[in-house]
Amino acid sequence: MNGWRSWLKWLIPGIGVKRWLLLLMAGVTLISLGLALLLVDIYRETRLPPLVYLFTLRFLPWWARVAIALIAGSVAVVVAVYQINRSILAPFAGASNRPLADLVFEHHRRRHGIKVVAIGGGTGLPSVLRGLKEYTSNITAIVTVADDGGSSGRLRRELGVLPPGDFRDNIAALADDEALMTRLLKYRFADGGLEGHSFGNIFLSALSALTGSFEAGLAEASKVLAVQGRVLPSSLHSGVVLMAEVRREGSSSVIRVAGESMIPKAGGKIERVFLQPDGLMAYPEAIRAILTADLIVIGPGSLYTSILPNLLVPGIVEAIRASRAYKVYVCNIAAQPGETEGFTVEDHVLALEEHIGKGVFHAVLINEILHNHSAENVVKYVPLASERSEVWNRYELHKAPVADEEQPWRHDHKRLGQALMAMYRAVRESEGPSSPFGKRAETPG
């Protein structure tokens, strides 16, 4: 039964196969007609030996000869197509061992899926990409360029490239063979001159040098790794520095901390973050992706060091406001040490509003905390203060069990993808396919 279902997928409208099959059949028919006319002419004009005459089946009624010819021809065509599929096309299916029809159908479905833009960084953004790539290949990940720690920071300082770490992780998340790509791109050298560097960071840096620019290197990496979507920087400025104003406990003064990697270590309450130098510009391709998106997902990720560094790039928030997409902020499941300890969901939203204004997104997706004593002992969940909070007069509040069972402080990518698509479809169905989602957002407040 599954085999027949797989074959029937070739007949789905718009998949781009039936039209060529019909053309093939027309061509074979014309060739067969020409050969038939030739054979008839030879048969009529030439005296045939007895054995050849027997082979022509003239001793059978005409309808029997036609039926035998049609059945034999059909069997030959089916066997030939099947063997061609195995011999020529099957290697392109990769190591999945799945029927080619299933792979073509999924590729067609994802290629015609909605346009998604996901904004963030760190470990949260790859979860969104993994979850949504099951539904569409029209995904654009917009990644922060303020990372200055570890291998990424070293390459940034020594080679002058954009920090490749977050790009590496998100390219791996969108790759076809994700398991192998993740292991390869995250492989970290343990000794020698490359000690501490990951293969993916060096790979992207080398491609940037070969192609002449970081964005061209990203595009080539996406082709090589068969990425289902694309990963873009929020800005092409390689000298972006994330700054923070931090107030330490018991102190009336505010200290200024420079560097994304240093902010969580400052040991105080983050009151404001901003970018230096002045005059930064958003990457034009990122702006275009935002303006043409159907769904924009902000987060999850470190609020001050992954999400806001993207939104603070001039032009990004303005593009989000202007976009007709449905816009969702995905709140973290657990508190972020050094950044959001003691924060409620409402605190996350208010912190975003203080930096980028009100009404940038339509809805907030939070984890529906299921009763789990073992998880509660190790996870500092981000609580919801009250469903009657005035914040929820401005935004839709959605709850869904999106936590990973093994790592309950992180999102499960399948559950997260399902929840986001369910929210999008519900709005589409309630407002109609031509509804401009952008009208749902408030004016800046």
**Structure tokens given for 12:** 């789905």
Where in the chain do CATH 3.40.50.10680 domains reside? Answer: 110-440
Backbone angles phi, psi at 24, to 5 degrees: -60, -45
- Residue 381 scores a pLDDT above 60: yes
Alpha helices by DSSP H, listed for 46-61, are 50-55
User: Mean pLDDT throughout 268-293?
Assistant: 93
- What confidence category does residue 53 fall into, taking pLDDT thresholds of 50, 70 and 90? low
- State residue 101's pLDDT score: 54
Whether 39 and 56 have beta carbons less than 8 Å apart is answered as no
Ramachandran area for residue 297 (φ above 0: left; ψ -120 to 50: alpha; else beta): beta
- State residue 442's pLDDT score: 47
- Residue 210 scores a pLDDT above 80: yes
User: Mean pLDDT throughout 278-290?
Assistant: 93
- Residue 293 scores a pLDDT above 60: yes
Mean residue pLDDT across the chain: 81
Whether 216 and 197 have beta carbons less than 8 Å apart is answered as no
User: Mean pLDDT throughout 419-436?
Assistant: 80
Provide the b/e sequence for 377-391 (b: ≥16 CB within 10 Å).
eebbbbebeeeebeb
Is the bond preceding residue 300 a cis peptide, omega within 30 degrees? yes
**Structure tokens given for 125:** 């953004």
* pTM metric for this prediction: 0.75
Q: Rounded to 5 degrees, what angle do the CA atoms 430, 431, 436 make?
A: 150
Tell me the C-alpha distance between 364 and 58, whole Å: 78
Residue 373 CB-half CA count within 13 A: 0
- Residue 108 scores a pLDDT above 60: no
User: Mean pLDDT throughout 123-152?
Assistant: 88
- Residue 289 scores a pLDDT above 70: yes
Judged by average pLDDT, the poorest of 57-71, 138-152, 297-311, 338-352 is 57-71
- Residue 180 scores a pLDDT above 80: no
Across 48-52, 79-83, 250-254, the highest mean pLDDT is recorded for 250-254
**Structure tokens given for 348:** 């996350």
- Residue 148 scores a pLDDT above 70: yes
Whether 160 and 238 have beta carbons less than 8 Å apart is answered as yes
Burial of 71 (C-beta count, 10 Å sphere; 0-12/13-18/19+): exposed
Q: Which residue has the higher pLDDT, 44 or 294?
A: 294
CA gyration radius for the chain? Answer: 29
Q: Which residue has the higher pLDDT, 63 or 371?
A: 63
Q: How many residues does the chain have?
A: 445
User: Mean pLDDT throughout 326-337?
Assistant: 94
Judged by average pLDDT, the poorest of 25-34, 177-186, 364-373 is 177-186
- Residue 177 scores a pLDDT above 80: no
User: Mean pLDDT throughout 420-435?
Assistant: 81
Judged by average pLDDT, the poorest of 195-199, 201-205, 328-332, 352-356 is 195-199
- What confidence category does residue 88 fall into, taking pLDDT thresholds of 50, 70 and 90? low
- Residue 192 scores a pLDDT above 80: no
- State residue 438's pLDDT score: 47
- State residue 317's pLDDT score: 97
Provide the b/e sequence for 125-155 (b: ≥16 CB within 10 Å).
bbbbbbbbbbbbbbbbbbbbbbbbbbbbbeb
Tell me the C-alpha distance between 219 and 221, whole Å: 5
- Classify domain 110-440 by CATH number: 3.40.50.10680
- What confidence category does residue 288 fall into, taking pLDDT thresholds of 50, 70 and 90? very high
- State residue 16's pLDDT score: 60
- Residue 393 scores a pLDDT above 90: yes
